[in-house]
Amino acid sequence: MSAETPSEPPRQVERVHERWPGNETFLCRGRIVAGPRPRAAFATATLITVPTGIFLGLVAPVVVETQGVWVYAVASALAGNSLIWLFKTSFTDPGILPRLERRSVGTSSNRGKTRDCVVETTGKITTTRWNDTCGYFQPPRAHHCSVCNDCIEKFDHYCPWTGTTIGLRNYRAFLSFVFGTAAYCVFIATECGYGVSYETKKTGSIGEGFKRSGPAIGVFIVAALGFLFVGALSGFHAYLISTNQTTYESFRDAHGWSANPYNTGSIVKNCLEVWFARVPRAKVRFNATTEEDDSAERFERALRASERATLDASRQRQQQQRAESSSIELAEAV
């Protein structure tokens, strides 16, 4: 009888997220991408749910005596809206860009170098920087986040309240969270103030009314402090949207209206670009196997196409400058 050959153990399939060098947290085998500190999102959710519970349980029963049960519905809807956009922001790939292999020793010589690039939406020229970690000149508006250790498309900032980086793919969700939370704080503070006023009139004494309104006063303080933060943040991002800037660009470059290469020249168009432009697919398939992942190749082809577009635009500018100088010389000769 021939000896039985031992069967080979099944080869373990390695997925992209298992070897990814960044600091992100991956869930569901790479289908969900969170930031380095996803627990921060749950801590922020606690700051929303605890005051909401106190309001619904102790303040709203007093308010509904004169205003009706719609107070429960509005408070629950606004709180739910904030929580949904909070977790949407925290557990969405912000726009992580692939990493390219260094095919030559000379790539390190590009460190600190810059290159001109054409902005697709405006046709203007901007400067991009070499990313030595990822091995390429960063696309316009991209920046390497030091917290998550990845290059992020249209990098805005790292948000400690959501525990993740804010970029192209989760910026709209972040704005919805900030603006929605600001509206919620205004509603809660207003209703708590009304509750205190109602108890004061009901008892006929300011002191007695304040004693019976302890929960309303506490929630009012929390909502007011929350609005001071998210309200100011809402105003700042409203300005950024109208001028088509990111938080990082506003602090690093401080472009004026005309000098900003991403400004379309219209507040309406700038707002439409932020709120209604199609959110692109993730550049990296973290749930794919390493064998079937081709994100780096596709991204490299896109970079080369962008370089060709920049060269074409540069040639066109040179031709226009030559034509203008020739017309000026001809006019002077005449």
Q: Which residues are catalytic?
A: 159
Q: CA nearest 165: which of 251, 241, 95?
A: 95
**Cross-sheet strand order for the sheet of 136-137:** 114-118, 125-131, 136-137
Amino acid symbol at 187: F
Ramachandran angles phi, psi of 30, nearest 5°: 90, 0
| Number of other residues whose CB lies within 10 A of the CB of residue 60 | 24
Query: In the chain, where does DSSP find H-type helix?
Result: 16-19, 39-54, 60-67, 70-90, 171-203, 206-211, 214-243, 247-252, 267-276, 295-333
Which residues make Cβ contacts (< 8 Å) with residue 161, sequence separation at least 6? 40, 41, 44
Distance CA 169, CA 153 (A): 8
Cα 39 to its chain centre, rounded Å, is 18
Name the β-bridge partners of 130. 137
Which residues make Cβ contacts (< 8 Å) with residue 53, sequence separation at least 6? none
Which helix (H) or strand (E) covers residue 288, if one does?
A: none
